[in-house]
Amino acid sequence: MKPASLAVVLLFVATSALANGTGDGAYLRELVQRAAEARLYEDRNWHLLLHYRKTLTGQYESEQDDPGFFLSPNGKTDPQAELDATLAAFFSDRLVGRSQQVAQCAFIARYQWLKEKLAIDDRRLAPQRCERFEFWYAEQKADSVTLVFPSAYLNNPASMFGHTLLRIDQKGQTEQTRILAYTLNFAADVPPGRDPLFPLKGIFGGLKGYFSTIPYYVKVREYGDIENRDIWEYRLHLAPAQIRRMLMHAWELGNAYFDYYFFKENCSYHLLSLLEVANPDWHLMDRFVFWTVPTDTVRAVTEQPGFVGEAVYRPARSTVIQWRRKQVSDEEFQWMQRIVDDPSLSRSEVFARLRPERQAFVLDFASDYLRYKSETETEKTEAAEYRERNRTVLSARSQVKVQSEPLRIPPSNSPPDKGHKTSRAGLGAGWRNDETYQEVTVRAGYHDLLDPQAGYTPDAQIEVLGAAFRYYDRREQTRVERFTLANVLSLSPMDALFQSPSWKISAGMNTVRHGGCGLCSNWLINGGPGATLESHWWRREVWFAFAEAEANYSHAYKREHRAGGGATAGMLGDLTDRWRVMISTSYLRFPLGDQSEDVRLFMGQRFTLAQNWALRLEYNHRDHDDDVVFSLQAFF
């Protein structure tokens, strides 16, 4: 059925209902005609409210996937049919959407926009009171909006690139009471239980994503206390009318779900749609065609002139603990550790010899650490024990009549919008064994250990979909030198307070010289656990060691494959703010397949020229194989 014919049928049904006393049929026909003459179905506001995007064929299709979000059977792909059906629904008492409300209330942002554009006389419609919406809106007490960015968390695949959400701030809130505000959050609905296909479902749209309204303190506990992620808050400059329009559309999205795609239609992508509804002049989503990275969406928002105010840093509890450690003497640190193990010592006469302000600081330190342990401990009985110890410490703290000093913790890193962009390309030249070459590299995302550190989680690496192409001069040969499917590495420095393990996993292809093959493609998968220590002999260095397993497939090997394991050790350090160096050595033995061994050495250094420009010099050594490359890298 053609859209025009469908509209006629819808109008006939609606008119029949109106004839039964639910509204004014002539007035509906008038509104439909005026909307068609004004071509409102082509208006950007209508497309934003229905989440229409142009397809490759030039047609429109909504990214919204819940059938209940549309009032026309063809509403997902026909903006005009959906507009006509929406006008008809405004004259009806029929309950629609997942929330089962009348259309004027279920889709209140649509109603308010069409009422404004068509000067609708609501006295000629069936009168409706949207009490549920008005109660929900009043609960928000919205005065301003803040974009919140919890930093990346490598131990949860769904949060490896960070996250974004919106906080609805109330008038008169302080930095202390903002934690009580509500948030607008979009996330995948993960069914309970362990589903081995969960990662694939998240990547290929097998999960449903929903908007929800959650108190901010719940999210702070999840991100800052449990996952130990620093949080950045960006105050947005939105007018009251823009905030109300955004919240009305957020209410509409309670009637719907989106198919969730981890790399594209994720938390950050759909959050941008709310901001575009607030101000249709922004075209934030147009930047994200193939993938959406939260740090890039933060950068897209901050680049809007006059849109973003101050950025506020909210440190994770682990960051607070690390800062407190630097503020105490060795004796005070020993007292903290002893009180954590035996809280009754907080009332001992020996501890009371400390100055009251130092007693207070040590007890606050112990309480922070016990809360951290209770939140991160997976064993319920152990977590309960830490909570009980903390109650004893807090009781002792209440007896020390000294007010806690305000925490002024400097950020552990630059805000995410100050970091390099997430895609990278490079142009280089080098020497391998007895010949020279030129090299072009490209990487979809996101960050490696030698990239400029500003704005990214320290000591963490996530590389996805990268390739290097080389032209060897003597051979006159162009080849794919390397391909990276994924390369993830987390260095977690251990000390007396934190003992998180390090780990790594990678999969892809490199080029090896082995046996009689000078340049052979070698497919590999590698990974393993490790440990990391931190020092400050020069500026800051991390020393790491990994036990690892590796499997290879290549025609260079006699049996075309080999598998084995070994170890890697190395150091990553900063010589200056712009100059970083890394060195590592590995020994791997392969007892399965082609029985062989590898001794590897890597040395690399990076010098930052600007936020999105860097120089690199890298050296790789394997048995009878030496490779040196110098490159200029640009982030985009």
pLDDT of 516 over the 90 cut: no
The answer to whether the Cα torsion of 55, 59, 63, 66 is positive or negative is negative
Per residue in 174-227, pLDDT (tens digit) is 877 889 999 999 999 887 777 777 778 888 889 999 999 999 999 998 888 888
Residue 275 pLDDT > 90: yes
- Model confidence over 330-382: pLDDT tens digits? 999 999 999 999 999 999 999 999 999 999 999 999 999 999 999 988 888 99
- Residue 413 counted as domain residue: no
The closest of 141, 300, 177 to 234, measured between CA atoms, is: 300
Would residue 260 count as lying in a domain?
A: yes
Total domains, the chain: 4
Closest by CA position to 418, among listed 577, 192, 612: 612
Angle between helices 240-252 and 131-140 (to 10 degrees): 130
Query: Which one, of 489, 479, 474, lies nearest residue 509 by Cα?
Result: 479
pLDDT of residue 171: 87
Tell me how far apart the alpha carbons of residues 463 and 495 are, in angstroms, rounded to a whole number. 28
Residue 323 lies in a domain: no
Segment 202-213, tens digit of pLDDT: 888 899 999 999
Does 406 reside within a domain? Answer: no
- 286 and 390 belong to one structural domain: no
Q: What is the pLDDT confidence band of residue 422, given thresholds at 50, 70 and 90? A: very high
Residue found by looking up tokens 């081995």 in the block: 196
pLDDT digits (tens, 9 = 90+) for 459-494: 999 999 999 999 999 999 999 999 999 999 999 999
> Is residue 134, in this structure, part of any structural domain at all?
no
**pLDDT above 70 for 602:** yes
Report the percent of the chain where pLDDT is more than 70.
96
pLDDT of residue 254: 87
The span from the CA of 148 to the CA of 165, in Å, is 5
Residue 412 forms part of a structural domain: no
- Do 55 and 189 belong together in one domain? no
pTM reported for the whole predicted model? 0.89
Q: Of residues 154 and 501, which shows the higher confidence score? A: 501
What CATH number does the domain containing 531 carry?
A: 2.40.230
Check whether 98 has a pLDDT greater than 50.
yes
- Residue 539, pLDDT above cutoff 90: yes
| Same domain as 121, residue 157 | no
612 in the same domain as 583: yes
| 492 shares its domain with 590 | yes
Is the pLDDT reported for residue 16 higher than 80? no
Q: Between the CA of residue 266 and those of 121, 417, 601, what are the distances in Å?
A: 39, 19, 39
Choose among 419, 439, 421, 420: nearest CA to 429: 439
Q: In the 3-class helix/strand/coil scheme, how is 538-603 assigned residue by residue?
A: CCEEEEEEEEEEEEEECCCCCCCEEEEEEEEEEEEEECCCCEEEEEEEEEEEEEEECCEEEEEEEE
Cis amide bond preceding 446, omega within 30? yes
What contacts 136, CB < 8 A, 6 or more positions away?
Answer: 213, 251
In this structure, the answer to whether residues 39 and 115 fall within a common structural domain is: yes
Rounded CA-CA distance 177/185 in Å is 19
Asked whether the predicted pLDDT for residue 7 surpasses 60, the reply is no
Of 140, 145, 178, 110, the C-alpha closest to 275 is: 145
Average pLDDT over residues 5-18: 44
Show the tokens assigned to 563.
Answer: 């598998």
Q: Model confidence over 282-306: pLDDT tens digits?
A: 999 999 999 999 999 999 999 999 9
Residue 507 has pLDDT above 80, yes or no: yes
pLDDT(417) > 60: yes
Cα 86–88–93 angle (5° rounding)? 100
Domain of residue 511 covers 419-635
Domain match, 445 and 545 both = yes
pLDDT at 269 over 60: yes
What three-state secondary structure class fits 329? coil
DSSP assignments along 187-245, one per residue = EE-PPSS--TTHHHHHHHT-EEEEEEEEEHHHHHIIIIIIS---EEEEEE---HHHHHH
Confidence check: pLDDT of 529 > 60: yes
Last residue of a domain, one of 83, 107, 129: 129
Distance CA 485, CA 508 (A): 5
Question: Do 179 and 275 fall into the same domain?
Answer: yes
- Read off the pLDDT of residues 104-140 as tens digits, 9 standing for 90 and up: 999 999 999 999 999 999 888 877 889 999 999 999 9
Whether the pLDDT of residue 449 is over 70: the answer is yes
In a shared domain, residues 384 and 448:
no
Average pLDDT over residues 297-322: 93
Of 69, 97, 129, the one marking the end of a domain is: 129
- Tell me which residue has tokens 């500026």: 539
Q: 23: pLDDT confidence band, cut at 50, 70 and 90?
A: low
Residue 12 is predicted with a pLDDT of 41
Same domain, 461 and 608: yes
Q: What's the CA angle centered on 437, arms 436 and 438, to 5 degrees?
A: 145
Do residues 123 and 172 share a domain? no
Token reading at 245: 């329009």
Is residue 326 domain-resident? no
pLDDT tens, position by position, 548-573:
999 999 999 999 999 999 999 999 99
Angstrom distance (rounded) from CA 91 to CA 26? 11
pLDDT at 201: 86
Q: Mean pLDDT over all residues of the chain?
A: 92
99 and 170 share one domain: no
Does residue 517 come out as left (phi exceeding 0), alpha (psi in the -120 to 50 range) or beta?
A: beta
The count of residues in the chain is: 636
pLDDT at 21: 43
* Contact in structure between 420 and 543 (CB atoms under 8 Å): no
Query: Is residue 407 a part of any domain in this protein?
Result: no
Would you place residue 266 in the very low, low, confident or very high pLDDT band (cuts 50, 70, 90)?
Answer: very high
CA nearest to 59, candidates 84, 73, 42: 42
